[in-house]
Structure formats: structure tokens, C-alpha cells
Chains A and B, each alone.
With several copies, the nearest count.
Chain A
Amino acid sequence: MFKKILIANRGEIALRVIRACRELGIRTVAIHSEVDGESLHVRYADEHVCVGPAEGSLSYRNIPNVLSAAEITGVDAIHPGYGFLAENAHFAEVCESIGITFIGPSSEHIALLSDKSQARAHMKKHGIPVLPGSDGEIDDPKSSLAIAKKLGFPVIVKASAGGGGRGMRVVWHEEDLEQAVDSAQLEAYTAFGHGGVYLERFFEDPRHIEFQVMADQDGQVVHFHERDCSVQRRYQKVIEESPSPALDETLRKKMGQVAVQVMKSVKYRNAGTVEFLMDETGKFYFMEVNTRIQVEHAVTEMVTGVDLIKEQIRIAAGQALSYRQKDIQLLGHAIECRINAEDPVRLTPCPGTITKFCAPGGPGIRVDTAMDTTGVVSPFYDSMIAKLIGFGRDRSEALARMRRALDEFVIEGIHCNIPLHRRILDHPEFQKGPVSTRFLDRLLTLQSV
């Protein structure tokens, strides 16, 4: 087992990893930017190294400084968390080359799966159901139009290197295709340095269902059931839950098997998520693999009782999976609300100083946060203040717990999206069960009209 791990991240996920390390008896090194010197993740770690100024690209994403920090502190391994360097194949590769274990998949896995178009092609070849779409990237307008017509409008243009909705365009009419492709390519190039795009059929009311998977060195692959992440705003997840109210036992089993098949087809290792898009009839399609631990992993931890971060660390250290598929049971229902610093009207991030922070407690409630009794939401980083997760014996108890916990949550000095979460949890459509990824955008549009 590792003796010392560097956590190449900040905020709640850095704390999350430090907690796992402490429970495993592993020493920790925090890295931080110049503005984060007083942060909780720095205080919780055994050692800490400043790696640059506030801007993430100069500190948390600064590969030479992060690796130098790993070298001068003599760590065996690096946990990247999510964001920053978590899906940077180059970083994973350099770690491998200097003999520091990158806690995650290999650089090849990251490279293959972060190219969405390439991953699509690979899965299609392996018999995984993928969304009807173009074979690989498109470029000349004529053939694009032919493909789109064959798929039938509306279609969606997606960036191969994409994520978070960038480089995406929905096209409803033939005549808008060419311009949409152009602008998607431009945006993709600007955002990711690679302008390649591909086409897929566009579903109007899909559900976002993802399976948490873990694989070890020996090729053992286990899934931890699904998360339903359909409550999104502009492709950003807002609420996640497990199990999905849209699946029955048969479908759950089938999709779980496909998720495992996806990971086996690339000989995956460590934690990853297989994302599916599902239509109203229960037909599902592979979308992509996230080659990192995700924000919403805590939902799965609550509902299965498994510590995914510790499992990640154990696997990275060469141990075999400590669970078999039959050990992974759904013990109830869990829901996560991402509490963000957010302007209540414009719904934009609003950083600032939290003058009082007091998280809810009691049965079935878990809070992951890097806030103390006060705290700062820095404009340099993402605006998430806390993850609030509620567990109950069934969905209705989990919902009731979340609502009372939201009422208890004290965050003063700054605006946050707790009122929005209340609106969603109080909404009859959400309470009833499955919603599509357009539920929240519709709710907010109605509101603003």
C-alpha cells in the first residue's frame, strides 16, 4: 500500500481524498495556490506545498509544479480528484514515466475515451448500442448534410473533445446545419484546441443515466448501479440520485451488464463512469465514459455503503477489487443536491465570503464541503459550496430528508441555489418520478416568462 499520496486538487474533493487516506493510514500532501493557503484541505493534510498563483492554469493545472511538489515530498502516488488534471492523459503519462502512481486509469484509457468520436466508434465495433450518428468526425458540408438527413432532424453536433455542453449545437432544420457545424467547430477549437465534431440523432426528452464502474488490474469489473442525473441546467448536473426512478430491475441489470462490457472492451482500470442516454421507451445508448471519480460519486457511496475513493486507492496500489457484483446492493435511495454560490435571479456563479456556515445533520444526511464555520467561494474556482446527500429507505424518505436538510442549512453572506433545490424537490413532476434532461430548463423558462 502507498505510504504517502499527493492530492492534486482543492475543495471538497481534496478533503474527500484526505479522509480516505487517513482511514487507510496513508500520509497526505495537499497542494494549494497562493489564495488557498488557509483552506481546509491544507489544514487537514499532513504536508502542503504552494504550487502557484490563484489561476488554476498556473497552480492546480501546472504540471511541472505539481510533479515537483510530488518529488520534493516523496509521495508514491497522486490522486487527481475531478477537474484540473483528472482527465489529462499527458499528466497521467508523465506520472507513469517518473514512477509515481496516477490513481485512475492509464494514460491510454484517458486518451482513447476522452475522444468522444473515437470512443463511439470503438463501442460500436464492440457491439455496444450507440446513438445513431456519423461514423467518426465530419468535415465537408455536403456529406454532413447527407448523414443528417439519413438520421432525420433534429440532430446534434458534438465536439469530439467536448464536455459540459461546449461545442454542442442542436440543429432542427436542414438549412441551419452548415452554420451550426462551423460554429461548433470554432467553439470546440477555442475551448479544447481540437475542432473536430460529429453528428448524432437528437432526442428531445432523454434521461441521463450513468453507471459507476470499478475495475482492477486482474480485469475484474464491477458496477455499483446507476445514478440518474437528468436534472441539469445547460448540461450542468444539479441533482443526482440512485437508483433511477426510470429503471426497473430488468433494465437496471441489462444496463449494468452493458456498462461492464464497455469497460471490459477497453481493459479499463480503476474508477470510471459509463454514461447512457435513455429515451422514454427505455431504449438506451452509450454516450461516453468519464475516466475519473465524479462529483456525484457520494450518491453511490450512500446507497451501496461502499467507499469508492478507498477502493480507487486500493486498486491503484495493485490490490484486487474487494467487492464482487453480488455484494453490491442498493440499500435504499440517495439524492444529492449540489449547493452552489449562485445569483438567485441570473443563476450565475456569485463568489464571495460566507460569514456563517452551518451544515445540517441527523439521520441519513451526509455533507461534503471544504467550508469551516465560515469560508470563501473564490472567483478563481468552481462555485460549489457543498454537496448535500440524503439517504432514505425509499425515494420518498430520501426526498423528505433532503427537504428538511435544505431547511436546516445555514449559509450566510452569500447567495446560493438552495431556493432552486427547494423548488425542484417540491415540484410534483420531480416528486412523481423520472424527469428528462430538459425538465429544469423548462421549469426555469416558465419562471422567467
Chain B
Amino acid sequence: MPDSSRREIEDLVELLNQYHLTELELEKKGMRIRVRRDPAPTFTSSGVEVVKTPEAHLPSLTPSSPQPSESSHLLTISSPIVGTFYRASSPDSDPYVEEGALVKKGQVLCIVEAMKLMNEIEAEADGKVIKVLVESTTPVEFGQPLFLIDPL
């Protein structure tokens, strides 16, 4: 695909984003433009399988806040620091939480170790742990999603 087409598509996607459209159609020369916006969506909460870490947006002038995941009512707990992710307080201990568990706001979900300091990461709301996104002992960067929580 020529870069020009790619750029064209990216431009349209940008407009789509900017004006929160559902659909945007463009024909050239004779010029035909179609824009469409669907009413606010409703959808079912179940069956979330993969939520990729939201990366790769074009360099933007404004700080990108973590994207709402497809099932946007889910809460993403991201790492506020750079370090190593641990699901338990020690190798012999049980994980702080398992998938499916109910957690209270302020409850410790995991530890991110940075500079030999153990930083406890807490739940930001009451809810159910839908997914643990990172394996224990893995390095994590700033803003990396760690848990998906379904708030109660």
C-alpha cells in the first residue's frame, strides 16, 4: 500500500477520533463525504478476552491518558512507577489476588519493586478482578496496565 494511502487513512482515523464519529467515508475527485455517528453504545460486559495494552498512537501533543478498553466500564489498574511486578509479598506466599476475586478499594493487589523498595499497588475501587495482565516477576513500565477490575 502506498504511503500516501496510508497517510490518508491515518488522517481519516484522526478525524474519526477527533469528532468521535462512527463512520467516515471519502471519495475523491467528484468528492463524496459521508459522516456518521451512532448513538451511545450499549453492550454486554461479559466475554472480555484480550485487551491489548493500548500503545501506538501517533505522537500527540497532549498527554494520552490510558485508553478506555473496549468494555469501557472496566477499570484498568496501571503501574504508577517503573519496576518489577510481584503478585505476592514473597515467593512462598499466595498471590494477593486471583482472577475472579472480589476486592475492596484500597486493598493491595500486587507489589511493584523499584530501587529495592516494595511499592504496594492498591485497588482504586471495589470490584471483581477480571484479569491479571502481567505475570509475576516481570518488569513493568510506567502506565502499563496490570489488572482489569469490574467495579461493583
Contact = CB atoms under 8 A, between A and B. Distances in A.
| A–B in direct contact per CB < 8 Å | yes
A71 B62 CA distance: 29
A352 to B, nearest CB: 8
Given A50-B144, A69-B141, A355 B2 contact: yes
A208 B80 CA distance: 44
B4 interface: yes
Interface bin, chain B: 20 to 34
A83 to B, nearest CB: 20
B84 interface: yes
Contact of A72 (B59, B63, B83, B143): B83
Contacts of B141: 49-51, 69
B11 to A, nearest CB: 11
Given A37-B56, A64-B81, A68-B83, A413 B63 contact: no
B58 A353 contact: yes
A67 B142 CA distance: 12
A35 B57 CA distance: 9
B38 interface: no
A329 interface: no
Contacts of A53: 63, 142-143
A374 B64 contact: no
Interface string B124-152: 00000000000000011111100000000
Contacts of A71: 83, 114-115
A51 B82 contact: yes
B60 interface: yes
A65 B56 contact: no
Contact of A64 (B4, B57, B84, B114): B114
A271 B151 CA distance: 54
Interface in B56-84: 56-64, 81-84
Interface in B1-15: 2-4
Nearest to B1: A355
A376 interface: yes
B139 A72 contact: yes
Contacts of B83: 68, 71-72
B94 interface: no
B55 interface: yes
A305 interface: no
Interface string B37-69: 000000000000000000111111111100000
Contacts of A59: 142
Nearest to B114: A68
B62 A35 contact: yes
Interface in A96-110: 98
Could you say which of A34, A66, A378 has the most chain B C-beta atoms within 10 Å of its C-beta?
A: A34
Contact of B58 (A50, A52, A64, A374): A374
Contacts, number: 93
B64 A35 contact: yes
Interface string B19-33: 000000000000000
Contacts of B64: 34-35, 37
Interface of chain A, main secondary structure: mixed
A195 to B, nearest CB: 31
A89 B102 CA distance: 46
Nearest to A374: B58
Contacts of A356: 3
Contacts of B55: 37
Contacts of B59: 35-39, 375-376, 378
Contacts of A352: 61
Contacts of A376: 58-61
Contact of A68 (B56, B115, B143): B115
Given A51-B141, A73-B139, A355-B4, A64 B115 contact: yes
B107 to A, nearest CB: 24
Nearest to A373: B3
Nearest to B112: A68
A73 B139 CA distance: 8
A379 interface: yes
Given A65-B114, A68-B115, A374 B3 contact: yes
Interface string A212-223: 000000000000
Contacts of B57: 37-38
Contacts of B56: 37-38
A69 B82 contact: yes
B85 to A, nearest CB: 10
A355 B3 contact: yes
Nearest to B81: A65
27 contacts: A33-B63, A35-B64, A37-B59, A38-B59, A49-B82, A50-B82, A50-B141, A51-B141, A52-B142, A53-B143, A59-B142, A64-B82, A66-B82, A67-B114, A67-B115, A68-B114, A69-B141, A72-B140, A353-B2, A355-B2, A355-B3, A374-B3, A374-B58, A375-B58, A375-B59, A378-B59, A412-B3
Interface of B: 2-4, 55-64, 81-84, 114-115, 139-144
Closest 4 CB pairs of A and B: A72-B139, A355-B3, A68-B82, A68-B114
Interface of A: 33-39, 49-55, 59, 64-69, 71-73, 98, 351-353, 355-356, 374-376, 378-379, 412-413
Given A35-B63, A64-B114, A376-B59, 13 more contacts: A34-B63, A35-B59, A35-B61, A50-B141, A51-B82, A51-B141, A52-B143, A53-B142, A59-B142, A65-B81, A69-B82, A98-B115, A375-B59
